[in-house]
Chain A
Amino acid sequence: MAKAKVLVLGGGVGGTFVANKLAKHTDIIEVTVVDATGVHHYQPGLLYVPFGWEQPERLRHDERKLLHPAVQLVSAPVRMIDVERRQLFLLNDGTLPYDYLIIATGSCPVPEEVEGLAEGGHHFYTEPAALKLKEALNNFQGGRIVVGIGGFPYKCPPAPIEFTLLLDDWLRQRGLRSKTEITFVTPLPQVFTIPTVVPMIEELFARKGIRVETFFNTEFVDFQKQRVVSLEGTELDYELLVLIPPHRGAPVIDASGIGDKGGWIPTDKFTLQVKGHERLFAIGDATDLPVSKSGAAAHFEAPIVVKNLINLVNGKEPDAKYNGDVMCFVETGEGKATVLRFNYERPPQPPKPSAWYHWLKAIMNRLYPVALPRNIAPDVFIAMLQGKFSKVSPFCGSELMEKLKQDVMKTR
């Protein structure tokens, strides 16, 4: 019997985890990852780039070396998924047929959705944006910094909080904190999405003199006057604006007509199958699931996708269920961090910040590829320790991604 062809679209955390786990089943399936650039980008590390505490090239990995040898890799951007004929259309001609498809296309920040934000605001969610913010910080001599959430949804919900607390550290180290007013803005009625985490963050912000402006739904940024205005009528002047843009699903999802109005894929919250498509699965940021958009969620989703897909190939029911597990370390400044563990039913109860969690996070950031399941080549490990990484820029934030995003936005 011919082996079933499984395509994994996207070589980020979700795509790579799931492909390497599927490699155990190559007696019954063929596994191919299709990635726009072949560069695996460790996005959580971008948090540190604006402060000069991480080099962007250290966050790029050669996807081929991270993949199990039994997994094939096609490095080519995909224009469209044809779910009726079960094939992918590549951007530069050609098609790839599949029997099963796992969509792991991630998410994109879209500052263009808020008037003036692209021109007047900074963020750190792509490599070019993080480097631009680094330059702005290096030129900052004191004044008003407005930092926070510019719209929903966005990936890695604690990252704006972490950035704000690290910014406080960075300004103190440079002797600029006494000359700087930091205001954290959020569209929410409280400082964070999850109520059980709010008291800890409120205490940290109060202790560090960080002002909080809740119910601040950014309406527009007047970048010439350096002023940000909320729908609620609040106006804040700034010398530096760091506002995390709302995100959308990847351009290929919009182009294929399989996403909702935000470009997210309607996904069964338990089986992780794309709703209405038995042979399609979605994982990570690309889904519309009510969990954080983060690599940690993708990590916990991967085994469920693998079990259900293999069940289908074997003619069984997809009976494995994802329970919404997510876990992430959260920087709290002063060399400390905490940890959030939660799922669909159980909210997180963060422990008191400690240096222990900070170092666990630092170790995970540095040695993360080792956590990818199965057969990491020794040369990848040695290259990591030596700090030798891919020279190629990642897809997220690239000119190609921007072009595809603009093409899709024109047709919306």
Chain B
Amino acid sequence: MTEIKADKVVDARGAQCPGPLVELIRAIKEVPVDAIVEVWTQEPRTKEDTKAWCQRSGHEFVGAFPADGYERVLVRKKR
């Protein structure tokens, strides 16, 4: 599988909900359109919350990938 390269990585491991999503949204504000933000989370709810947020906000949910003890959730800024 080709590794998707994020333009910005946010380490939110250890943060409880809504911490990881809040960190991701903060990062999205700071990057240009088409950039990918990756958040590292240990909260199982982050993936579904991020999907729902992307649907609402019009950004692209790129995917969620398991890593060593955490999950990488990736979003592309679309506007």
Contact = CB atoms under 8 A, between A and B. Distances in A.
Interface string A210-248: 000001010100000000000111000000000000000
Chain B interface helix/strand/loop/mixed: helix
Contacts, number: 36
Interface string A136-152: 00000000000000001
B18 A193 contact: yes
B22 A231 contact: no
B16 A152 contact: no
A391 to B, nearest CB: 40
B73 interface: no
Interface string B12-36: 0011111101100100110000000
| Chain A interface extent, by class | 10 to 19
Contact of B58 (A189, A217, A233): A233
Given A215-B52, A215-B56, A233-B58, A152 B17 contact: no
Nearest to A188: B18
**By CB atoms of chain A within 10 A, which of B25, B49, B52, B58 has the most?**
B25
Given A189-B49, A189-B52, A217-B25, A231 B57 contact: yes
A290 B22 contact: no
B53 interface: yes
A233 B18 contact: no
A187 interface: yes
Given A187-B18, A187-B25, A188-B18, A233 B57 contact: yes
B18 to A, nearest CB: 5
Nearest to A269: B14
B65 to A, nearest CB: 21
Interface string A28-63: 000000000000000000000000000000000000
Contact of A152 (B22, B28, B52): B22
Interface of B: 14-19, 21-22, 25, 28-29, 49, 52-53, 56-58, 79
